[in-house]
Structure 1
Amino acid sequence: MAQTTTGTGTGPGTGTLLSGRNVKLDSFLKRNTERAVYERIRASEPCVVVSDTVNKVYMHVVLSDERVYLAEYPPRTLTEAVSFRRVRDIELVNDLPEFLSAKDRKRCQHIRILYVLEKPARKKGRDWLSREKGEGLPLVAELSRRLGRRPTTTHPSEGYPAERSLSQLMREELQPVLKPIRSASCPNPETLGLVRVPRPPTQSASLYSWSSSPTSPPSPPSPSEQNPTTLQRSQVPRTIGSTLSRLLRRDRASGGEEEREAELHLYAVSQTSRLYLHLQSSWNSFIIRSTLLLDPLYRQRCSASCDSSAATVGRDRTAHLFAQLISELLQDGIGVESSYLLLQELKTAAHRDVTLRRIFWKSAEVCVFLVQTLEESLHGCQSLSGVHTADQLLLSALIVQTLAVMFRETEVEAARINLLSAKRGALASRMLLALICDPQLRTPDRTSPIDSELQVLLSEYLDSACSLLFELLLLGHETSRCPSADSFLSVGWILRVLQPHPHLLSFVGYQAQQVALVLSDLQESVLAPAQSVLLFQRCRLLLACLQYNNQLAQHLRSHFGEEFRYVVKLSRAEEKLPPQHPISRPTLRLLELVLTLTLRR
């Protein structure tokens, strides 16, 4: 467990983010967290928790866009369990927990979070396992003795009742797991630090850990600090250079010390639990954003969102400014240039303020306007002449980028799914069909040379379209795992909507070609943050095509099987993806799956 998080409370006028879930928990969070923390909370669910310091305790799992917190049941403290920058993997485990009753066992969703432990700070003359007041292992032993349990990272049933119902877990009188720095009922500046039991690395252990925080990413290395293999690639044989590169990257990633992994197990006793989906979505958002923040230009653009003072802007003020901007955008007779400038302002503001993104989905008029403008700009005029113009491509790319930003960190907004699923997904269908276009430029007489500027603009649009389609597929994955009568926007549904599009195969083929190109020997340099994110998104798109649509899967295997077999190599991808990019490791896992399915006969 990390340190306990408390705060000074939020000011008046703050909305209730967890309405309909748990009023007592939401009230506690509003009183005891900073506004900046409370505003970033996405979801909460009660779960049975097993970790290094907690053994089968019924607790609230509170999820923000950067961390997983735990609170007692009923809530008395809020404790950081794990930061997403330390997470290696989040998976569902197919098992039947023996410590639950037969009824709860069958409907339980077991979530396993594998993460890297924080490296202990070095202190002179003192063991890192002990605390200033002598608390440490003796306290853990005493607590374990009183509870009759053994701290562990696995889930043994030895010495523990084999079957208990959820109500029994909730009624048990347990000692406080962690004492807060300050709680609502009893302020106390001291912290009780329960000790982690060291775990040997598992077979899936990685040599890479995330060492950078999303709010303070490291600056790019100077030429003297870069990989010497990269600087002298022309002087070193490729095989030796690749080996040296991997060894150097591995050594820097581990920091010269062996990393220790830990596991957090969450047992959501509900067949309709969405906690796993929220965890996956939050983790995806985190690794994308923290990777992009390694780019100085992107970091400057989002500087306001990284500043805690930005959280002091009230929701009412944001809504007022949003309404003003939209009224100008929707006025009659507005020109293309004015529309472009207003959309650029909207996109920049959305980058910086998650509240604006939430407000966006509450107004169907704005989203419909963007989709309609995209249809007219990208396909309307093109259908007459068969030719794109620079203005069309610029405006279309900006619309798609703006929509993609609006999807970020708004997964728990009910207004979003309600808007996209209304009238059997009419708006979602229009958005999907509008963003697909022919990746080949056409000239009026079919013989003139292709304009290089237009080719660049088209490539930028296709990159943006992939990012938006990635966001829609994430929405589809959520629906696919939690089917209900009202939720039909699954991945399969998305691909079925796109299947009749005349340019779908060439669009997907273009994305596959870009994966092969960026990992080929034609590009020697490592990937920039935005390139790493785009590679991750393209791999997710290709994986969805291979898993959920037979026609697209067959197309990829028949047209790109040989290219992927001989050009796309995991070892080459390891060299291209910098270890300091949080998205690198998940991208390698996705790429391995894509290769496996593409090369399958």
Structure 2
Amino acid sequence: MARTGSGTLLYRRNIKLDSFLKRNTERAVYERIRAYEPCVVVSASGSINKVYMHVVLSDERVYLTEYPPRALTSACSFRRVRDIELINDLPEFLSGKDREFCQHIRITYLTEKPAAKSRDWLRRLPPAVSPSRRNSHCPTIKHTFEGKEYPAHRNQNENETEEVLMLPPTRSASWPNQESLGLLKVPHPPTQPPSKSPSLYSRSSSSSPSPSDQRLNITETGQVQRRIGSVLSRLLRRDEGNNKEGMEAELHLYAVSQTSRLYLHLQSSWFSFIIRSTLLLDPLYRRRCSISSCYPPDKRLPSISLERTAHLFGQLSAELLQEEIGVESLYLLLQELRTAAHRNVTLRRLFWRSSEVCAFLVQTLEESLHGCQSLSGVYTADQLLLSTLIVQTLAVMFRETEVEPARHILLSAKKGALASRMLNALICDPELQSENPGSLADLELQALLADYLDAACSLLFEMLLLGQEASRCSPADNSLYVGWILRVMQPHPHLLDFISYQAQHVVLVLSDLQESFLSPAQSVLLFQRCRLLLACLQYNSQLAQHLRSNFREEFRFSVKMSYAKEKLPPHYPISQPTLRLIEQILTLHRLSHSNTSALTFE
């Protein structure tokens, strides 16, 4: 159900579905599919009502397809998602163990009213075009689940109307007459011009076109007769009368597997999407990812091959791991690695398959930040610059690689030995021990230390996401979950000071002491810090007590939701999720102030 970098699947591999997706989607879309899982689906308008389907999850969208697969359609885009929740209930339509172990996931999103010209475009298609793609809308079909029949209506418009359903090249006995569907002709999408010679910095699938902005590529020959009164057109017209721009809708997914990780994959994918989308609003970040202002996010060059990426990564790794490498050469090579990782998700997957590079970075961080500093008691600019670069590189490697099995294998090996070293290496004393307080050199070191602490919070946030997924694994896998992560760091002499530093900056941002709007990078950092504080309050009693004892008054009187709403621009994708985190933190502090047991908001 989880995809690896080479396109194979981890755990319960569905060969038929995987073959269908590989055959019927563009390479850029297929390579970005993270996971799929069978679920009972209920859509907002009831067009899909308790239907057993496959939920297919990519980096930017949730798709649905029949069970077995025949057509693929978009359920919702992460850019319109407002919340993903795990509902604690017992669905009445399930029975026995399926009802007991069911995970009810509710996705709340904003609908998008289709433009009138889209419907006109459908109507004005010439009747005799020879398309290389064929698309259809499936009428009512019966599927069974636990001995019950549920109507499998297809709800095309309630979510994203620009997506097109896909029809298999052959017709089975269970598939209705094609002519009765009123199939629509969709012209073949224009081909992209050939790209330049690939390099390690080529824009990769991590910068692939958004599936929401283009139709899925389905190859098929033959002609399809177009009818104005098609099922798809009727659904478009029907839902246009019901949906308004910005109206909230819900998609309910009922995962019946006891070991389902769909909720975790959904949350991780959503977090990655809103973080990336928010950061892309920053021109500096776009330049780092080789996304200039003249190229919108949905216009990217095709990725280079896995073989070419592996070759270039191998060359860079060999240079990094050579003996007696100088600090300046090491810094330049790490800059190259970090920049390439920003642009190439395949490289990030290869990083986890190369255990030597990860272990080397952790060891270098230990020596740079703690080994030398412990001798003199004073940080140097070189130490802080190198340490920040290492932590930033590690944080990038975590993004969008949660379904890479090599990552979990490497970090959980020997009871999480490497993960433990990474966690303890990134924690440092946030107080600068300066020989010349107030000097220009001291101010520069303060700024460098602040940059490092920001980067360390981002890496710890990625580790906590990893821990959230591990917490739902088998009890035998007793490492890497959130409680374990916090417990591993607990003996560190500077942990409480490190957490206090992160909490102080949350208070500073959310109080009236800072009046300006937050930049995209500042908003993302606030989101990550809030996730860290919430994890401390929920999963570690010592850290929770520390925060309540030292920041109770600040969160009670200084932090206001009104301030947060003023400083988080509404057009940032990360603003609404951040506001919900802040509200949860404030609720926990209010509960602790009234001596009420804390709630869990996971």
The bucket for the TM-score relative to the shorter chain is 0.7 to 0.9
Structure 1 residues 513 and 182, CA gap change in structure 2 (3 angstroms): same
Structure 1 residues 418 and 366, CA gap change in structure 2 (3 angstroms): same
Q: Which residue of 1 aligns with 2:217?
A: none
The Cα of 1:185 is off from its aligned counterpart by 3.3
Return the match for 1:166 from 143, 146, 149: 146
Alignment pair present for 1:280 and 2:274: no
Alignment pair present for 1:50 and 2:37: no
Alignment pair present for 1:298 and 2:285: yes
Tell me, yes or no, if the aligned pair for 2:208 and 2:302 is still in contact at 8 Å: no
Name the amino acid aligned to 1:300: R
Q: Which residue of 2 aligns with 1:94?
A: 88
**CA deviation map 1:295-341 (0-9, x unaligned):** 11111222369576644411111111100001001101110010011
Q: Which residue of 2 aligns with 1:359?
A: 350
Determine helix, strand or coil for the equivalent of 2:114: coil
Q: For 2:388 and 2:63, how far apart are their aligned partners in 1?
A: 38
Alignment pair present for 1:267 and 2:267: no
Alignment pair present for 1:572 and 2:551: no
Tell me, yes or no, if the aligned pair for 1:29 and 1:38 is still in contact at 8 Å: yes
Alignment pair present for 1:397 and 2:388: yes
Tell me, yes or no, if the aligned pair for 1:526 and 1:575 is still in contact at 8 Å: yes
Tell me, yes or no, if the aligned pair for 1:88 and 1:115 is still in contact at 8 Å: yes
The Cα of 1:54 is off from its aligned counterpart by 0.8
Tell me, yes or no, if the aligned pair for 1:180 and 1:191 is still in contact at 8 Å: no
Tell me, yes or no, if the aligned pair for 2:48 and 2:151 is still in contact at 8 Å: no
Alignment pair present for 1:453 and 2:444: yes
**CA deviation map 1:143-190 (0-9, x unaligned):** 67x86x9xxxxxxxxxxxxxx753655xx7967776835544379994
The Cα of 1:15 is off from its aligned counterpart by 3.3
Q: Which residue of 2 aligns with 1:492?
A: 483
Q: For 2:487 and 2:377, how far apart are their aligned partners in 1?
A: 26
Determine helix, strand or coil for the equivalent of 2:559: coil
Determine helix, strand or coil for the equivalent of 2:588: helix
TM-score (norm 2): 0.78
Q: Which residue of 1 aligns with 2:170?
A: 185
Name the amino acid aligned to 1:48: V
Return the match for 1:440 from 401, 425, 431: 431
Q: Which residue of 2 aligns with 1:31?
A: 23
Greater Cα shift, 111-120 or 572-581: 111-120
Structure 1 residues 174 and 383, CA gap change in structure 2 (3 angstroms): closer
Q: For 1:405 and 1:312, how far apart are their aligned partners in 2?
A: 18
Q: Which residue of 1 aligns with 2:215?
A: none
Q: For 2:349 and 2:40, how far apart are their aligned partners in 1?
A: 31
Name the amino acid aligned to 2:107: I
Matches within 5 A, 1:371-520: 371-444=362-435, 451-520=442-511
Identity %: 71
Q: Which residue of 2 aligns with 1:40?
A: 32
Return the match for 1:559 from 550, 554, 559: 550
Tell me, yes or no, if the aligned pair for 2:35 and 2:265 is still in contact at 8 Å: yes
Name the amino acid aligned to 1:279: L
**CA deviation map 1:457-505 (0-9, x unaligned):** 0000000000000010111111123343124211111111111100001
Structure 1 residues 411 and 330, CA gap change in structure 2 (3 angstroms): same
Determine helix, strand or coil for the equivalent of 2:353: coil
Name the amino acid aligned to 1:102: G
Q: For 1:375 and 1:310, how far apart are their aligned partners in 2?
A: 38
Name the amino acid aligned to 1:94: N
Alignment pair present for 1:325 and 2:305: no
Q: For 2:289 and 2:427, how far apart are their aligned partners in 1?
A: 28
Name the amino acid aligned to 2:19: S
The Cα of 1:432 is off from its aligned counterpart by 0.3
Q: For 2:404 and 2:279, how far apart are their aligned partners in 1?
A: 24
The Cα of 1:18 is off from its aligned counterpart by 6.0
Alignment pair present for 1:598 and 2:585: no
Structure 1 residues 388 and 572, CA gap change in structure 2 (3 angstroms): same
Return the match for 2:69 from 75, 88, 93: 75
Q: For 2:301 and 2:6, how far apart are their aligned partners in 1?
A: 14
Tell me, yes or no, if the aligned pair for 2:111 and 2:245 is still in contact at 8 Å: no
Structure 1 residues 184 and 534, CA gap change in structure 2 (3 angstroms): farther
CA RMSD of aligned residues (A): 3.1
Q: Which residue of 2 aligns with 1:159?
A: none
Q: Which residue of 1 aligns with 2:220?
A: none
The Cα of 1:270 is off from its aligned counterpart by 1.0
Determine helix, strand or coil for the equivalent of 1:451: helix
Structure 1 residues 214 and 559, CA gap change in structure 2 (3 angstroms): farther
Q: For 2:124 and 2:99, how far apart are their aligned partners in 1?
A: 42
Tell me, yes or no, if the aligned pair for 2:436 and 2:442 is still in contact at 8 Å: no
Q: Which residue of 1 aligns with 2:100?
A: 106
Structure 1 residues 449 and 279, CA gap change in structure 2 (3 angstroms): same
Q: Which residue of 2 aligns with 1:544?
A: 535
Matches within 5 A, 1:301-312: 301-303=288-290, 310-312=301-303
Q: For 1:132 and 1:449, how far apart are their aligned partners in 2?
A: 69
Structure 1 residues 571 and 383, CA gap change in structure 2 (3 angstroms): same
Name the amino acid aligned to 1:112: R
Tell me, yes or no, if the aligned pair for 1:385 and 1:444 is still in contact at 8 Å: no
Structure 1 residues 181 and 547, CA gap change in structure 2 (3 angstroms): closer
Greater Cα shift, 578-587 or 262-271: 262-271
Tell me, yes or no, if the aligned pair for 2:49 and 2:151 is still in contact at 8 Å: no
Determine helix, strand or coil for the equivalent of 1:481: coil
Name the amino acid aligned to 1:180: L
Structure 1 residues 105 and 433, CA gap change in structure 2 (3 angstroms): same
Tell me, yes or no, if the aligned pair for 1:31 and 1:184 is still in contact at 8 Å: no
Q: For 1:25 and 1:95, how far apart are their aligned partners in 2?
A: 30
Q: For 1:88 and 1:175, how far apart are their aligned partners in 2?
A: 25
Alignment pair present for 1:65 and 2:59: yes
Q: For 1:586 and 1:499, how far apart are their aligned partners in 2?
A: 28
Q: Which residue of 2 aligns with 1:158?
A: none
Name the amino acid aligned to 1:185: T
**CA deviation map 1:34-72 (0-9, x unaligned):** 000001000000111111321111111100010000111
Greater Cα shift, 299-308 or 76-85: 299-308
Q: For 1:343 and 1:324, how far apart are their aligned partners in 2?
A: 13
Q: For 1:67 and 1:56, how far apart are their aligned partners in 2?
A: 21
Alignment pair present for 1:344 and 2:329: no
Q: For 1:434 and 1:276, how far apart are their aligned partners in 2?
A: 30
Q: For 1:355 and 1:472, how far apart are their aligned partners in 2?
A: 20
Name the amino acid aligned to 1:77: A
The Cα of 1:595 is off from its aligned counterpart by 1.6
Determine helix, strand or coil for the equivalent of 2:391: helix
Structure 1 residues 42 and 167, CA gap change in structure 2 (3 angstroms): farther
